[in-house]
Amino acid sequence: MVHNRSQFLLLAVAIATFVGHSQGANILGLFPSLSPSHLIIQMSAAKALAEKGHNVTVVTSLKPVVTHKNINVIQVPMTKEEAQQMSDTVGAMAKDDNSNIAVSLLRMSGQMDFMFKKNAETLKDDRVRDLYLNKDNKFDVVLSGYFMNDFQLGFARKVNAPVIVLATMPPMQMLNPLIGNPLEISYVGVNSAEKGKGVPFMQRLTTYATSLGFGLFAYINTKLNKNLYKEVFGDDPNMPEYSEMLKNTSLIFFASHAASEGPIRPNVPAAIEIGGIQIKDTPDPLPQNMADFLGNATDGAILLSLGSNVKGSHLKPDTVVKMFNVLSKLKQRVIWKWEDLEKTPGKSDNILYSKWLPQDDILAHPKVKLFINHAGKGGITEAQYHGKPMLSLPVFADQPQNAEGMIKKGFGRTLSLLTLEEQPFREAILDVLSNPQYTQKVASFSSLYRDRPMTARESVVYWTEYVIRHHGAAHLQSPLVHMNWIAANNIDIYFLFAVILVISILLFKTVVKFILRKFFSKSKKPKKEKKH
């Protein structure tokens, strides 16, 4: 196609300007969420961009664990009192019955007030306001971490940059409207369909009711966001109306992967799935002692990690003894995450204690045959990615629910850590190790989960640079963003049809009556005369 050198040069220059434009861009991440697991996902996206050579500035409230030298962190930490209030809130949430998500959201709305206030305060911090007040700062795109905080999107307008929403969940009712993603509640919602089947009436009814609950919650949430928008950006007369400002989102990154996790649903082009962004594509080499320990595990190995939240009060001394008695008698080798190396549960040749674990890298090791965990979302996701079956020992918060979900998919077993006994513990371990069904199910999930045209990191980089190259993605925007409920559902057209139908029926009736009367009055009169 390229005929001579000058044409080639021209092409090279054109490509360089086109592609080069997004090289070394200035990217702003607003991640003031008070949830550590949200921050891990958001920072993992920021890290993928930093590794690509972009200059990433992030605003957080918590101290991030995922970092990079190209990421400049502005942390607006919680005060001691706020941290206490936060842990009370989390405690209260853990006690709630979370079986119906919409109901628990409505119940939580009071407790969440605090999180929204803190979010607004973070954006009003002097160092954060400086990002738009100091005209030396220029941002090419803003990534806005989502936690029902739509008002935060106004910040992108302040720094005059397109905005991408970074969500830590799959497409859902409260996020979809930002990009005009369809709701499709007849088959997408709390009750997923069985494979190869539709959704029966009762399931659709409960999904619909839940959706109404969400609608109510969204209504309350919108009011709250409107107020926060006014509070944070109200002093600037150039800022658009809240409802107008919302119609400016270029893309949403969703932390999901429908092809493996479901639900199967239509998504608009502005919905980009980046599920698993927090997991490394290729594992780092293990520390030498662990590499040797696992490499020589001829009968396979088990990883045991109960997370950092489960310790002390939750793990009774006799529970630890019971666990040790079972594990030390197995022929498999065990890596056990244990904080206090001076006081281990006991010495055994097949157990390696470690204060710190590269969990993701260990799970990637082919010798690891079982992951005993506390059903934290992060750990389960990593095990699913690496195709390792699990035995979950949940304690509180979302853990029992996570374990439940894992069991439903057939990826392992669960036992309560609080009531753990030797016999069922041993029996469950041997069952997961010997029954190939668990491994097969999680392995086939894993192969679907990883089979993508682009990895999650590549997707984040590609689509962020895409938005930078095109100065936003207004061309991808669904018209649904600009339509109200009546237009979106063609209610006005149904109404028009109904009116036409009613008028036609009335007209028809009148005409028929008219004709009948004429006909009868002509043909009846003689008949009547005959009778008389």
Ligand X SMILES: *[C@@H]1O[C@H](CO)[C@@H](O)[C@H](O)[C@H]1NC(C)=O
Binding site for ligand X (CB under 6 A): 26, 55, 57, 72, 137, 162, 248, 250, 291-292, 295-296, 472-474, 477
Q: Measured from the CB of residue 160, what is the shortest distance to ligand X in angstroms? A: 8
Residue (161 or 380) nearer to ligand X, CB: 161
Scored b (16 or more CB within 10 A) or e, 469-500 reads eeebbeebbbebbeeeeeebeeeeeeeeeeee
User: Among all residues, whose Cβ is closest to ligand X?
Assistant: 295
Residue (283 or 424) nearer to ligand X, CB: 283
In angstroms, the CA 434 to CA 301 distance is: 13
How far CA 490 is from CA of 37, 85, 483, 486, 502, in Å, comes to 40, 46, 10, 6, 18
Q: Measured from the CB of residue 221, what is the shortest distance to ligand X in angstroms? A: 22
Parallel, antiparallel, or unpaired: how do β-strands 390-392 and 368-373 relate?
parallel
Residue (72 or 523) nearer to ligand X, CB: 72
Residue (55 or 206) nearer to ligand X, CB: 55
In angstroms, the CA 153 to CA 150 distance is: 6
Residue (292 or 492) nearer to ligand X, CB: 292
Residue (154 or 276) nearer to ligand X, CB: 154
Residue (183 or 476) nearer to ligand X, CB: 476
Tokens at 335, concatenated:
């890596």
- What number of helices (H) and strands (E) belong to the chain? 20, 13
Q: CA angle 76-79-83, nearest 5°?
A: 105
Q: Measured from the CB of residue 202, what is the shortest distance to ligand X in angstroms? A: 40
Can the peptide bond before residue 263 be classed as cis, meaning omega within 30 degrees of 0? Answer: yes
For residue 217, count other CB atoms closer than 10 A to its CB. Answer: 20
Residue (384 or 477) nearer to ligand X, CB: 477
Residue (53 or 346) nearer to ligand X, CB: 53
Q: Measured from the CB of residue 359, what is the shortest distance to ligand X in angstroms? A: 20
In angstroms, the CA 143 to CA 133 distance is: 19
Q: Measured from the CB of residue 51, what is the shortest distance to ligand X in angstroms? A: 15
Radius of gyration of the chain (CA): 30
Q: Kindly report the backbone phi and psi dihedral angles of residue 165, in degrees, each rounded to the nearest multiple of 5, phi listed first.
A: -90, 135
Q: Measured from the CB of residue 53, what is the shortest distance to ligand X in angstroms? A: 10
Is there a contact between 263 and 330 (Cβ–Cβ < 8 Å)? no
Continuous segment of H or E residues that includes residue 224: helix 201-233
Residue of 308, 387, 388, 309 lying closest to 355 (CA atoms): 308
**What is the three-class DSSP state of 452?**
coil
